[in-house]
Structure 1
């Protein structure tokens, strides 16, 4: 499944890489660490300040009817930004968190969604 073709998200595009280390301390105050997982799932928060109603309807339909909220994974392409190592890369993600938008003007919505790598 592919993320719907809608208006590009507004900036800033937030990327979160969680700290996934397990940390401990010995009696001698020596700190030890190790990775918790073999893969660190990055998250991206996509925001729109003026998403047209037609694009909002496509996004809401995709979220609610196609991927069933946060249940199913889909492909999302990182925006094409020159010099960025993720530019144009297709990532397998799923929605993470609530779908929260508001009708901010007569003809557009404002809101954001979070997607996390699978």
Structure 2
């Protein structure tokens, strides 16, 4: 792997904003945490259409997941290890703080599940 590719695949984000339990923003970049699924929030179209059959539409848990992710990232520089993009154009990445994986943290807390 070239150093140029490695630099493009990894980044730091000093001020991420949390959209929901499995999606953040770093500047204009939307980043979906890879390999997890967190409960949806009430504004999710997944809970209003045919995707409802597989969507996790527990809104109370969705708020808890969002808030837990916000607390986990708050006040820290976030490491983003990019893996690709999803069908919605979001960056798929592993997100970590001080070597601790955000997705694993949410799964262990019962606020997300592993997803392939």
Instruction: Provide TM-score, normalisation by structure 2.
Output: 0.25
The TM-score normalised by the length of structure 1 is 0.25
Higher strand share: 1
| More helix by percentage | 2
Larger Rg belongs to: 1
